Amino acid sequence: MTDYQLIRSKRRTLSICVDQEGALVVRAPMRMPLREIEAFIRQKQDWIAKKQQLVTSHAPFVLYDGAQMPFLGDMITLHLADVHSAKETNAGLLVPKTGDAYAHVKKWRMQRAKADLPSRVAYWSQRTGLNPTKLSLGNAKKRWGSMNSRGEMRLNAALMHCTPEMIDYVIVHELCHLLHADHSPAFHACVRAVLPQADEIRKHMQSMGYVTTLLDGYSS
């Protein structure tokens, strides 16, 4: 039997997911017998194995001259150069030879996020009529975004490694939390009403979880 974390709640259905660390998380109704839960897990062994392999198959990102990094649905080539800060050019991204290369690229990523993400939030706010009271950006290791009870949205700068469609999905997802604080059927209906392809995008995003720690550095 695969090791798993069991979370019981007042939910009515049984669900499983593989988190960004490759761990299996099972959510079940309060009174569901353990034998039923584990029988379900056994039925899903092939799916679980594929998901865990997908999540854990990404080797640590090593930053070197000529390395390629995912960026906005494409790849950008990194070049070590005599520059003071990371600088984007037609040839790729110039990264200072001195100092912490990962920190230089992470700073550049945040600058790009600040330049690009607010306009996408504004676009979807206008489309949906849902407006956050504040937008901030961060470098969370496990969350793409959040929306608190005060209507303040926070987005992960690591979204810049994802496709534009994924970025829009996360923004719409968080905006819908202004109407529904939980992940109820009504919440998911809200997301799908704006983005009919939301379920498919969400599945693809599972394979991108590794990018939240892509620039945390690597030591051999």
The string of DSSP codes covering 125-149 is: HHHHT---SEEEEE--SS-SEEE-T
Please check the confidence at residue 220 and state whether its pLDDT lies above 50. Answer: no
pLDDT reported for residue 54: 66
pTM over 0.85: no
The count of other CB atoms within 10 Å of the CB of residue 206 is 14
- Distance between CA atoms of residues 83 and 71, nearest Å: 21
pLDDT at 56: 60
Give the pLDDT of residue 113. Answer: 98
User: Has residue 99 got a pLDDT over 80?
Assistant: yes
Domains of the chain: 5-56 (no CATH), 68-213 (3.30.2010.10)
Q: How far is CA 101 from CA 105, 108, 209, in A?
A: 6, 11, 22
How high is the pLDDT of residue 21? Answer: 65
pLDDT of residue 55: 63
Residues 120 and 153: beta-carbon distance below 8 Å: no
Alpha helices in the chain (DSSP H): 34-43, 45-56, 101-128, 164-176, 185-194, 198-205
List beta partners, residue 120. none
Q: What is the pLDDT of residues 21-56, one digit of tens each?
A: 678 899 999 999 999 999 999 999 888 887 776 666
pLDDT, mean of residues 74-94: 95
What contacts 115, CB < 8 A, 6 or more positions away?
Answer: none
Arithmetic mean of pLDDT, 180-204: 93
One-letter amino acid at 147 equals M
Strand 5-9, strand 87-89: pairing? unpaired
Residue 204's contacts (CB-CB under 8 Å, 6 or more residues apart) are 163, 166
